[in-house]
Structure 1
Amino acid sequence: MSAVRTSFRSSPVGRRLDHYLVSEVLPLLVGGLLVVVVLFLLAALVEVLAPILAKGANPLLVAKLMAFKIPDAIGRGLPIALLFAVLLAMSRLSSDSEIKSALAGGVGPVRLMVPVMVLALGVSTVSFLNSELLVPRAESQVLQTQRDILLDNPRVLVEEGTVFKDALGRAIYIDQILPGNELRGVRIIQMGPGQPAREIMTAERGLIEPGSATIVLYEGQRVTYRDAKPVTAASFEEARLPVQDLQASLNGTSDEVQPVNLPLGELRARIAAYRSQSLPVYREETALNRKFAEPLAAVAFGFFGVTLALYTFRTGGGLGLVWVMMLTFVYYATWSVFRIMGEQGALPPVIAAWAPDALYLIAGGVLLLLSTRR
């Protein structure tokens, strides 16, 4: 029997089986990826972008923002799409007795996994390269586009009590924005990290010049401080205040690139800098582990999908589309819970990042053991 299986591995029949299995999974992978990416983008459109469109945001800038979110959606969607594809393809092969025919023809369970696992490794590689090369650049463009939306029409982002920041460490408070980009109740505070205010500018009226990063203040006052005590005070009729790298978030989105979307070298450098200052690094260390765990989830999914198909074949059961979808999105739910716990320090970063993968590997191992005993 071992000789038969050895010859089968390199035989034309074995290669045809590999091609056949990949051809079954690959179209479902592409289709599943398209569905997942569209779902992620639709969720962003409904929760974040639709409200700012309703306030008059430039549709072209919003479309540009969505386009720059595609690499991140692909990175998150690739492993999930593979799990969906493997479960659906192997379920069909099991229900049509094609797995039975393969096993009867001398194909062992391990041999059946080989093409799926090779495909899973390919998906993991593509996912990692995407997260390392494309996502950091795209996320930087996302932040720049958010600033462009703000400068094009400030009303879409500003609500009463909204705070903006810029690269010079200034906090900009705006009570209200009226039609024509006119500001009311403007307060600009200059301070350093952990230090009291060094300068405060207030104005009853202001204006953000369209297409520029300049705030024009009218009928205001400027007060400087030293050791939290006022030093000078002066009134002005008009003042122009250029701002640098204005940071603005869209309805709760972040105004900075998330640690997991940074290149590896930059993320490691940030962790080292935070440690040297005795600052917590739960979020960054969780992100560092996620950089590897999330792409490699595809390998765990490939293994789990094949072993589940073998188990259902042995037991005479089957997987419907509803079960396939539930098992696919169980990962997303567990990933969300463990990620939050890791970022908050409730779990070690290694466990928080790798636990979802480990759950599918353990479940696959149990299913393989059970199926070989039947």
Structure 2
Amino acid sequence: MKRLDRYLLSQLMAIFGFFALVLVSVYWVNRAVLLFDKLIGDGQTAWVVLEFTALTLPNVIALVLPVAAFAAVLYAINRLSGESELVVMQAAGASPWRLARPVAIFGLIVAAMMLVLVHELVPASRARLAERQEQVSQDVTARFLTEGSFQSPTEGITVYIREISDQGELLDIFLFDARSSTSETIYTAEKALIVPSDAGPKLVMFDGTAQTLRKSDTSLALTRFADFTYDLGGAIGAKVRGRVDWDEVSSLDLIAPPPELLAATGSTVAVAHLELNDRLAQPLMAPVSALLAVAAMMLGRFSRLGLWRQMVLAVLALIGLHSLSNVATSMTRADPALWALLYMPAAVGLIFVAAALSWAGRRRKSPAVTAAEGAA
């Protein structure tokens, strides 16, 4: 690697580290505050809040890295221009294509980081987060059941437990369910147990009665039972883990998803391949964003006021590129057969980069060189 490449690459990596740290911190703190309010309000500990925020971190980093790479290139080129280093490089014969080479290497390094994130860390963290959310939801369900007092975990539900034994048995339980608009039911039992299940926690009551008042004719129905199962999770709105999302599945499983995985997701092989192509396309945005920034900055000449016009152009180009990416994503979600559109934003970005660098190279040729080339 040439000395010029090493110098520019070291500048870009240092600035990239700063911007990545700042952007990740902003996103992460914002997410942490929302989780803190929700989880602490549900009675969870600070350790659970820290665990949840840590599990959201890989996805935040994957979202931030292309933007941080873009901002690092803009800042580095503008600073080199302001300190006249860029002018010296160009006067020494460095063309826009030559100056873009270390930026391309820098973009590939960021893309390699994103490959690890989107194919390994993000799916693993999302799967673990979904699992922990289900566990915490069931813990919240049990927390509402306290002995010696009437509890109303949600509108229309009232629970009273005389005592909770050392074995976890709920002794002398009273449950009033008035959620229905047509009837009200009072359940009483000598004892009950909370049993976790895939469909949410269940309250299993033993040796009790169910008194149902029908509001239409004010009739009362009395039912005695030896055991009765009540959907406690559904009654208080506990979160139940339903279908598995594709973003929780590793990339290797997306290549040839087994039938049990398709059943768990309730989807098709085409959708799995769409998710895989989406993950392959995401890292491409890092080098394209970096090259987009350097190509736009090369369009300007030295100015003591800075290259703010070129910076505005670069930002607008990036916004347009992300808008195109959103459109492509929407179209592919509607029809997975259009998966090739996921690579369109990167292709369009590279075309813009090539055109801008070629235009900048022609503009920087001196009139003498241009005349000599024409005579030849």
Does TM-score exceed 0.5, indicating one fold? yes
Give the structure 2 partner of residue 342 of structure 1.
332
1:152 matches 2:142: no
Pairs within 5 Å for 1:218-237: 218=205, 236=225
1:15-59 deviations in whole A, cap 9, x for unaligned? 1x2222122211221122223323433453466663454344443
Percent identical among aligned pairs is 22
Q: Tell me, what secondary structure is at the counterpart of 1:216?
A: strand
Question: Which secondary structure state, in structure 2, belongs to the residue aligned with residue 153 of structure 1?
Answer: helix
Paired residue type of 1:342: T
Within the candidate set 284, 289, 292, 1:296 is matched to 284
Corresponding position: 1:370 with 2:359 = yes
Separation of aligned partners in 2, 1:97 and 1:205? 83
For the Cα contact (< 8 Å) 2:8–2:102, is it kept in 1? yes
SS in 1 for 2:225: strand
In the other structure, the counterpart of 1:192 is none
Alignment correspondent of 2:61: 74
Query: How many residues align structurally?
Result: 311
> Of residues 246, 253, 256 in structure 2, which corresponds to 1:269?
256
| CA gap 1:237/1:136 in 2 versus in 1, 3 angstroms | same
Find the partner of 1:139 among 109, 126, 130. Answer: 126
**How far is 1:321 from its partner?**
11
Structure 1: segments with no counterpart, 5+ residues: 1-9, 158-173, 188-201, 222-233
Structure 1, residues 167-225: CA drift from partner, whole Å, max 9, x if none?
Answer: xxxxxxx97666889986599xxxxxxxxxxxxxx99689884999752144688xxxx
Aligned to 1:313: 301
Q: Render the CA deviation track for 1:71-94: whole Å, top value 9, x for unaligned.
A: 122222222211121122122223
Tell whether the 8 Å contact from 1:293 to 1:354 is kept in structure 2 after alignment. Answer: yes
Q: CA deviation at 1:348?
A: 1.4
Cα distance in structure 1, aligned partners of 2:358 and 2:311: 25
Contact 2:299-2:356 at 8 Å conserved across structures? yes
Whether the 8 Å CA contact 2:23–2:64 is kept in 1: the answer is yes
Q: CA deviation at 1:330?
A: 5.5
**Deviation digits for residues 135-173 of structure 1, max 9, x if unmatched?**
22212210121022212213999xxxxxxxxxxxxxxxx
Q: Does the 8 Å contact 1:127/1:295 carry over to 2? A: yes
> Equivalents in 1 of 2:315, 2:143: separation in Å?
36
CA 1:344–1:105 in 2, change beyond 3 Å: closer, same or farther? same
Equivalent residues of 2:127, 2:248 under 8 A apart: no
Deviation per CA, 1:317-361: give whole Å up to 9, x if none.
71379847666566555444432332122881220x223323322
RMSD over aligned Cα atoms:
4.5
Q: Secondary structure at the match of 2:308?
A: coil
Identify which of 29, 35, 50 aligns with 1:63: 50
Does structure 2 retain, via aligned residues, the 8 Å contact 1:146–1:248?
Answer: no
Which residue of structure 2 aligns with residue 83 of structure 1? 70
What SS class does the counterpart of residue 298 from structure 2 fall into?
helix
Q: Which is higher, the Rg of structure 1 or of structure 2?
A: 2
Q: Distance in 2 between matches of 1:93 and 1:208?
A: 70
Query: Is residue 69–residue 138 contact of structure 1 (8 Å, CA) maintained in 2?
Result: yes
Unaligned runs of 5+ in 2: 145-153, 162-173, 180-184, 211-222, 364-376
Task: Give distance in 2, aligned partners of 1:220 and 1:340.
Answer: 53
